[in-house]
Structure 1
Amino acid sequence: MPTLPDPPGPYEVGATTFTLPISPRGIGTLEPALLLEEVAFTAFYPTSLKQSPLPKAFRKGLHWLTRPLRDAVQGYAHFAGISAMLVWPLVLFFGSQLKIPVYLNAPPLSHDTASQASIDDASSSVPKSTSSPWPLVIFSHGLGGGRTTYSQLCAHLASSGRVVLALEHRDGTGPVFRTRSVDPATSHRGLYLRPEDVIWDEEVPPEEANLALRAEQLEFRRWEVYLAYHAFRSLTGEGEHQSLLRVDGASIIGEIWKGVARCDKDVALVGHSFGGATIFSTLSNPPPSTDTRPIPISHALALDPWLEPLPSPGPSPIASANDQHPKMFVINAEGFTLWKDHFTRLQDLVRAWDGGRLITFVGATHLSFSDFLVMMPRPLRDASAKPNLRSINNIAQSFLDDKLEEALDGLTTRKMEIHWVDPSRWSRNKRRKRRLVGNVGDVVLH
């Protein structure tokens, strides 16, 4: 049975999924295809069952796959372009029981409580802390992803003392979603959206349809980022949840969330692939409406970002009131670094941010940043999957902690060198391939 490792930090991790119903609004020119009527995200956060009056009331394990399972099956079958009959066995044998090792709907741990716990127990592994709230991280997934696809990273950061909002984008980039809070009687399912599924107001050449759709989806995602942030800020600021709902329909106790997250400064944006493009798009555009306050972003972490949907030249950071741009850090996998034109553009983009840093993990693949490779059963799992993800998560945490240089000093680093590798005897493709020089897990500094 596939399993996921426990979060490594000193704090236990809770997870609660929220939805925010809003007045339906069309984004861009694609109103029928991109209709924003509900924002959804899973919050990962520090918790402590020792501090809970009902420690046995909160079970450990958040389903990794969307429920009901038929939605997940239809979603992944549609995304992969295969029959649902082929997906059902995989779901039943591998995915139906897969759970994220976090405590479902457990109350968040306040910073004050964590501080007192470390004082009361001198042997506690919980680090000493101040009375300030936990830092806030907003995570944006890539194509084919969702709010649980990167649970290892999100739970890792939460176990270190952060609140992470993992968005479930409703822009047709995930395999499946189901609206729940607008009207339960008319709940509907949304599937992955392909360019050929879209009817444009004005004729768009077929060769431009893909990137045109992605541009509209980026605007949609910026709305989701801002709406999720401001709804959660209201919840943690004054305990006011307004229209915010729990996905399971249970009541939100606003008082337990008050003061949990620091939303007024030092917010971090993190995203993978198209989520990385979302990060750059958010940082290079003003808030989506004139009455929407900016997000006080201090750190931006892009994981193997896909740049093609972004306008060229650019994007570049917009000027802020104090002329200070967020700290920028990009972690690439080997494939995107060997993609010549794309990597050249990425280097130029990172230079636009003062002090921006760019590294590549040798041997890492585009999926190395997600849960996919580590949740496979041992016979099917690559031996480097867990070490790669652990290294990625550790260095991501170090960047958010402003300890990046110390973390890099503890890794094997090298300059970028490329060599040609002969195909294996069993490979169908007999062409030689370009590879980075180094061992799996080495870090190339650019």
Structure 2
Amino acid sequence: MVFRLGRLTPRRFLFFTSAGALFFIFIFSLTPITSPLPPYTGPHEVGILDVETQVQKRVIHDATLKSTGGKAFELNTLAITLYYPSSLPLASPSKRPWARPWLPQPVSLIGEGYARLAGVPRLSFVFTFALWALGSSTVIPGVVDAPILSGAEKVLGEEGAAVGGFGKIMSAAEQEHQELKRDEGFGTLPCMVFTHGMAGMSQSYAHYLGSIASHGYVVAAVEHRDGSGPGTIIHYPDGKERKVWHMKLEALESTSPMTDLDLKAAQLNFREAEISETIKLFAQLNAGEPPVVNLKPHSLRNALPGFQNRLNLSAVTVGGHSYGATGAMQALKSAGSKEMPVYGGIALDPGKGSGPLNEDIDVPILVMQSGEWTEKQTKFYGKGWHFNVVKKIVESVREGWFMTLSGSAHPSCTDAPLIVPWIMKMVTGTTLNSKVALHEYIDTSVGFLEYLQTGQKKGVLESGVTNAEGPFKHDDPREKVQGPHGADWEIHAVPGSGST
């Protein structure tokens, strides 16, 4: 049947022009409901740098793509976004000479990736437009390619800013850092590797990770090439490129038929290899030799030599959200080995459909769940309720914390609730302010990272268990402890609360 518009009568003309005007108003009214990312919570300015380096080529799983015949899980390069403390004085966004767009470029790549993920590849233009409308004006706070933290902040303050301006301050900071490199007495910076969730990207957690960096940590957010994200581009040393899209089971074939759990296992093994390569990159940056070759197009790279002798490779942690939390916990199975020299982990909402969780953990771990993740319980791979499985794992660790941030939702640790707060509140039904939620996550994470270095507990880490039963406590009110920013936490497990 063919739909015919018919004759354009005055009434039809009025209808279509009115509809068009309403559409126009709706699109342009999107801008007020978006918000910029807030400043980071720590005392240091943050440097940002996109890095892609070549790694030893290897195949993690023999599965191939039906569309091309190429290896689906072949590791060629490592792509990360670095967040690190800088010597530069804190500056307002208008005074930062280089801004990192929050959306990766090109936006059309991500739009097509989400359209493929949704099963409507022909509507990629709709997804691209939506991303552009909601995220094109958002930038990640910080300075691209800024010099890494040195003693410059002790001598360059407001007076330096007033005298020489931002450019001269940056030059002075770089010069002083070169002088400090010759001084064997300067300190080193702890490192963290962070792994994103399913359908996420490395920049999806810019405020959380940048804030951790602003407290004196070097954080590498991995852009996974395991087929779990919407889309990414691999850049080879010879200038060639290859696009990696979100992979579904029906798009793959292997010598033996793959199940959904096989796919997840392959992706998690791929992620573990990328985590290991990130730690190797930390070591290469710290050694200064051989120099890191950045394959990322249009990415500045002047700051990389400044990482030499600045990183504390004995203080490396792994963190992740959702699918990434599952991957981070899997990586902790190898903690202490040459390939995985990590000494602690942070898991935000460990995945409920990402495959079974690793139970073999011998290093300190902090598990933080959103209120949504705790309240909406599901059976977990034949081992009981997800909450009870996680609690049992944490209680088996000598130094483990398990807690829930009340009123938060699964995306609350991401940037989405900050950029489109009204939309996310409507979709998730959160009752906790998005900035407060992230501030609580950040302070608790930083407190845990400081504990790993000093052994001193701060904030909610000092609390005892308030509700061991979690969502299954019905007979009495569920006791909570207040966080540093007024939010309520339920503490389910702390060191020594388990039976082992």
Classify the TM-score, shorter chain. 0.7 to 0.9
RMSD: 3.3
- Conservation of the 8 A alpha-carbon contact between 1:303 and 1:330: yes
In structure 2, the partner of 1:74 is: 112
Q: Distance in 2 between matches of 1:249 and 1:62?
A: 10
Question: Which letter maps to 2:298?
Answer: D
CA contact (8 A) 2:145 2:301 kept: no
- Could you say which residue in structure 2 is the equivalent of 1:47? 86
SS at match of 1:363: coil
Return the alpha-carbon distance in structure 2 between the equivalents of residues 106 and 36 of structure 1: 29
Q: Does 1:372 align with 2:416?
A: yes
Judged with a 3 Å threshold, the aligned counterparts in structure 2 of structure 1 residues 310 and 12 are, in CA distance, closer, same or farther, namely same
CA contact under 8 A between 1:37 and 1:182: conserved in structure 2? no
Q: Which residue of 2 aligns with 1:408?
A: 460
| Identity over aligned pairs, percent | 24
Deviation at 1:217, TM superposition (A): 0.8
Decide whether aligned partners of structure 1 residues 69 and 256 sit closer, same or farther in structure 2, where only a CA change above 3 A counts.
Answer: same
The letter for the 1-side match of 2:225 is R
Kindly report which structure 2 residues correspond to 1:338-349, keeping only aligned pairs within 5 A, or say none.
338=375, 339=377, 341-349=385-393
Deviation at 1:115, TM superposition (A): 5.7
Partner of 1:191: 245
Q: Which moved more, 1:237-246 or 1:69-78?
A: 237-246
Q: CA deviation at 1:405?
A: 4.1
Task: In structure 1, give the amino acid aligned to 2:216.
Answer: G
Query: 344, 354, 369: which one pairs with 1:332?
Result: 369
Which segments of 5 or more consecutive residues in structure 2 lack a partner in the other structure? 1-30, 65-70, 161-184, 379-384, 427-431, 493-500
Structure 1 stretches of 5 or more lacking a match?
122-129, 318-324, 422-434
TM-score, normalising length from structure 1?
A: 0.81
Q: Find the partner of 1:84 among 124, 147, 151.
A: 124
Question: How far apart are residue 359 of structure 1 and its match?
Answer: 0.3
Q: Name the counterpart of 1:358.
A: 402
* Letter matched to residue 14 of structure 1: G
CA distance in 1, matches of 2:334, 2:255: 24
Letter aligned with residue 39 of structure 1: L
Q: 2:49 aligns with which of 3, 10, 16?
A: 16
Worse overlay, 241-250 or 130-139:
241-250
In structure 1, what is the equivalent of residue 26 of structure 2? none
Call closer, same or farther: CA 1:381–1:183 in 2, change over 3 Å: farther
Q: Is the 8 A contact 1:418 1:437 kept in 2?
A: no
- Tell me the SS of whatever aligns to 2:344: strand
Matched residues in 2 for 1:89 and 1:420: separation? Answer: 45
The one-letter code sitting in structure 2 at the alignment partner of 1:164 is V
Single out whichever of 169-178 and 348-357 deviates more from structure 2: 348-357
Letter in 2 for 1:197: A
Residue in 1 aligned with 2:233? 178
Q: How far apart are the structure 2 equivalents of 1:117 and 1:37?
A: 41
1:266-415 superposed matches below 5 A: 266-285=315-334, 293-306=338-351, 308-311=353-356, 314-317=358-361, 325-338=362-375, 339=377, 341-376=385-420, 381=425, 384-402=433-451, 405-408=457-460, 414-415=466-467
User: Does 1:212 pair with 2:262?
Assistant: yes
Output aligned runs, 1:115-126, within 5 Å. Answer: none
Does residue 241 of the first structure (1) align with residue 291 of the second (2)?
A: yes
- Which has more helix, going by share of residues? 2
Q: Which structure has the larger Rg over C-alpha atoms? A: 2
Per-residue deviation at 1:363? 1.7
SS at match of 2:81: strand
Judge conservation of contact 2:346–2:445 (CA < 8 Å) in 1: yes
Contact 1:181–1:247 (CA under 8 A) maintained in structure 2: no
